[in-house]
Each structure stands twice: as structure tokens, then as C-alpha cells.
Structure 1
């Protein structure tokens, strides 16, 4: 019975797909190169790589195409043919679906990110990149990931507290933005962490938002956890798209402000991370003062050590 966690097997299967990019290849062909039946190869590959052979091959071809668009002078048609598409129209549809932008516009962007989402972290790597390790993770992932991870931990600690403790006035209060919020209790601190994300998610996506906040029933630790998961999913999707387009300095109009104001995407991300980091540390101190046994200090390095989602099995360098 093969060890499904074996890095060697992951390397071997991924290399088979990587070496097939320059020739037409179906799953049957890849299985033959692995000395497996088509059915067994498909099953083992999906268990080890967490992606089907065909899906991984298609994604790697699109990642390679994106790199060539951004860093070579090849025509879009030549890039499309190199990626295995029979027509420019078919390539453009697939590229737009994956990267949410047309190939021609992608080419005009400055130093774009060319990796598509993949839980296995196996990607096309640019020439000169290391063939192993965590080149796929950047500061956006660390800041956003740590903020979400630490907030969830704090809410889990708070879920064991009574309403009286959640609403007990804190002995030390630091009002960061006194014209916008109040941080007099632990519940208010958590509410401001999550409501900040909800407001900016609405502003960035252009959706309406009740600025009075949610009903009291939505302010328990359990309910706030559900709100956090929902707003994080959309906020991370928006910021990941901005990161992938290298658009941090682009601006947008926040229609929720009165009057409307213009902000940069990077400024908003830095704003959320800065003020929520302070709120999280205040919440951590408040939990300890209430006698809750907590671990850690909210340090992003704790997130790296505990989660490290970028330290996945392999990454392949392909020309």
C-alpha cells in the first residue's frame, strides 16, 4: 500500500504532469508514464495531490501562459497555442474565467502574480525561482491570515464567558478612533474587529450596509464567529484579486462615507490590519484579566508556526 503522504510520490506524480505540458496528453497517457492503470492513477493522484491530473495540467498550462504574457514578447495567439488551446477565443475564455481578466489586459499590467489558487501549492515557477519551498506566500497572506486566525482563537476563548463578563467594563480603555467606536467592553472590542471588516467589504464590493450594525442576537461570540467567516471569505477574495493584479495603488470610491471618499486598496488593507491588530491585543489582555487561560501573544510568527499554509509538499520549476 503506497504512503499517500509521501513527498516522493507527490514529486513523482507532479513531475509526470509537469513533463507533459509541451505535448498533448490525456489522463490515460499520464497513467501509462506512471505505470498505473488509468483508474488507479486517477484515484492515487487525487488522494496525493488533492487535484485531478487533468485539472492540475490545465491550471499549470494557464499559469505558464500568464507568465509568458507578462514576461515574454510572444503573441497572445502563440501563447494560446502553447497552452494547448485550438483557438484564441477558447484560450481567452479560459484565461478570463481563471484570472478574471482578459489576456491582453493582463499583459499590460505591471509584474502581475501568475499563480492560481491551489491547495496543494504546486505551481509553475518562473525561471530562476527556487524549485522547493514557499515562494507562493507573501505579506498579504501572512497579515490577512494571521488576523483571521488570531481573531477566531480569541472568539473561541470568549465563547466560554458569560454575558456579564463579556459586557463588564474593562479597567483600561484605549479609544483608537473615538469618533467612530467604543471599546469599553470585551464584546465591543470583538464587534469592532468584525464590523470593521464588514464595512470595508461592503465598501469594496459596492454593496449596501446598515451602518447601525447588527442586531444584539448577532453579537454573541458564536454569532460573531459566523459573521467573521462570512466577511473574511469575501474580503480575502477581493484583496487576493487586487494582489494578483498588482493593484494596491489603484483607488476606489467609498460610497458609504458621507460625503463619499476615495481610498487606495493598499491603504484600506493596511488600515484594517493596523487597527484590528491593536484591538486583538486589547482583547487578548482583557481575556487574561478575566481569568481566561490563553496561549500566545498574537504574534504573526505564532501563525506561521501553527498553520504555515505555504509550507505544502512541492513546487515545480517548468520552462
Structure 2
């Protein structure tokens, strides 16, 4: 198995082969990676400390737990995870989590023990920790990026329970976060700006046209967020892989066009996303909704529970 000549990380290519929906069997994975099953297994086990079939089974169980917590049926989650019978899935889930899948509630799904820090992260991406066995190996930027997208989705789901008039009620007259974005006086307005900020910056990074203004009801925003979050994580991962934090981005969406250091763009998005998420929390509390602190410490403790 030769190293990739495309510049893409070879281990990530192997992980893609393991987790591709079309590769349920070891032979499929190896063929996808242009390797024999023997060499594929040896390389994966050496680089991750986990056999490819075991890694796939664990990550898909983590995904299934998340899906059930979001309202999926046990049956749908079982077949999505590649199990031929619901009974087999229930047994495997129970052995892994210590409780049946039906006992999974929103926010209760956690990562399973892993020798390599590779885990499922919604909506479609993996979380890959640096040096998972060493506390000093924590990648703080990865923590912030994943916490941000996860917490935003959490707030959107809370907002979905509100009556329309409460969702759009003016709660902070005259409130603005960034002058050029205009007022953000309601839960609806802050959440829309929270999602749209990533859409606009992604368009600049991807050299795409200005994104059209989408619907701002909670269901539509959650769909928009899931799309933007997946692309945002992939974009930041690519910037880090290329060591491009100091590169300049020419933003043609500005009039006149401006240039920005890419690292400062990521820091900008994280800064104002955190600010808006706390604004939403204040507004939700004023609407009588119980909401947590949005603390990355608590979020990470939940993710690492029983690890």
C-alpha cells in the first residue's frame, strides 16, 4: 500500500474505506483502498490500534446511538448500521452501552471506549483526536469547532419547541452583534445569523457565489446548519492539513473585495458564534425554557463519559 500522491492523508483515505456505506465487508474496504484484505487489515491495525471491522462496528454503533437520541426508530438505526436483524443490533448495542437502544434519550449517547480517538460526530463527520491516550494531546481547536456545531444544533432543537410568536418575539430591542449584520432582537434573528455566518464564510473559502437567504424557521435552520456544519468541519480540517492558517483569503463577496488571513477568519467565526449562542440562551431563559450553560467542559465530559 503506497502513500497517497494526491497530498491527502493516507490514513484518512483508509478510514474512508472502512466507513463508506458501500463497504460493509472487509473485502469491500480493501478493494476501495486498492489493497489486499491482509495488507489493509495490517496497516489499519498498526495505525489505529483497532481492526477495521471492529472500528467500523464501533463508529456505526456510536452513530446509531446518536440517531436514536434524535428520534430515529431502533429498526431504522439497526439497518443503517448494517445489521441484518433488529435483535442482533439490540444485543450488540446492549453489550457496548450497557443498556438497550430504546433507553437512549436525547443527549445521552456517548462515545464508546476507543484506542485511537476516532469517533462518530454528527452530522456526518468523524472526530479524530490527537494522541487520545495523552491529556496533553488535546486539540483545542478541534474541541472548539466540534463543540460549536454541536451546541448550535442543540439550540436549534430547543427553539423548535417554541410557538411561532415566542420564537419571533422581540426580546432585545436594538441589539446588534456586528453592525453590518443588522439587528438581532429575537431568538429567530440570532439563530438565523448564527447559521448564515458559516454559510457566507464558506462561500468565500470555496470561492462560491453569495448564498441565497434561506428560510429561518427552526426546522429549515437545522437543515441549513447540518449542511454548513459538515462543510465547515471539512474546510477547517483541510486548512489544518495543509498548514494554511497564515494564507490569505480574497473575499470577493465584499464590495470592494478584501483579503483576510484564514486563521483570523476561523477565529472570527468561533468568537461571534460563541457570543450568539449565549445570546440565544439568555433569550430562551426569558421565554421560560430551561437551557444549560453551553460549557465545553460539560459537553466534553458528556462525550467522554465511561471512556
Length-normalised TM-score, structure 1: 0.56
1:134 Cα deviation from its structure 2 partner = 5.9
1:252 Cα deviation from its structure 2 partner = 1.3
Q: Which has the higher contact order (CA 8 A, sep 6+)?
A: 1
CA change 1:27–1:263 in 2 (3 A) is: same
Contact 1:248/1:266 (8 A) holds in 2: yes
CA change 1:178–1:31 in 2 (3 A) is: closer
The answer to whether residue 294 in structure 2 is matched with residue 298 in structure 1 is yes
The answer to whether residue 260 in structure 2 is matched with residue 263 in structure 1 is yes
Partner residue in 2 for 1:277: 274
1:195 Cα deviation from its structure 2 partner = 0.5
**In structure 1, C-alpha distance between the alignment counterparts of 2:127 and 2:250, rounded to whole Å:** 37
1:31 Cα deviation from its structure 2 partner = 8.7
Describe the superposition over 1:21-72 as per-residue Cα deviations: whole angstroms up to 9, x where unpaired.
xxxx95458999xxxxxxxxxxx94442228xxxxxxxxxxxxxxxxxxxxx
Contact 1:149/1:303 (8 A) holds in 2: no
Describe the superposition over 1:256-299 as per-residue Cα deviations: whole angstroms up to 9, x where unpaired.
000000001110001101111111000011001101122x2111
Length-normalised TM-score, structure 2: 0.58
Q: How does 1:184-223 map to 2 (within 5 A)?
A: 184-210=185-211, 213-214=213-214, 218-223=215-220
The answer to whether residue 236 in structure 2 is matched with residue 239 in structure 1 is yes
SS in 2 for 1:50: helix
Where structure 1 has 5 or more consecutive residues not aligned to the other structure, the ranges are 1-24, 33-43, 52-116, 314-319
1:209 Cα deviation from its structure 2 partner = 1.6
SS in 2 for 1:179: helix
CA change 1:299–1:119 in 2 (3 A) is: closer
Partner residue in 1 for 2:54: 48
The structure having more radius of gyration, on CA atoms, is: 1
SS in 2 for 1:263: strand
SS in 2 for 1:252: strand
Partner residue in 2 for 1:153: 154
Describe the superposition over 1:192-233 as per-residue Cα deviations: whole angstroms up to 9, x where unpaired.
00010100000100111246x22xxx2111110010010111
The answer to whether residue 250 in structure 2 is matched with residue 249 in structure 1 is no
Q: How many residues align?
A: 204
Aligned Cα RMSD in Å? Answer: 3.5
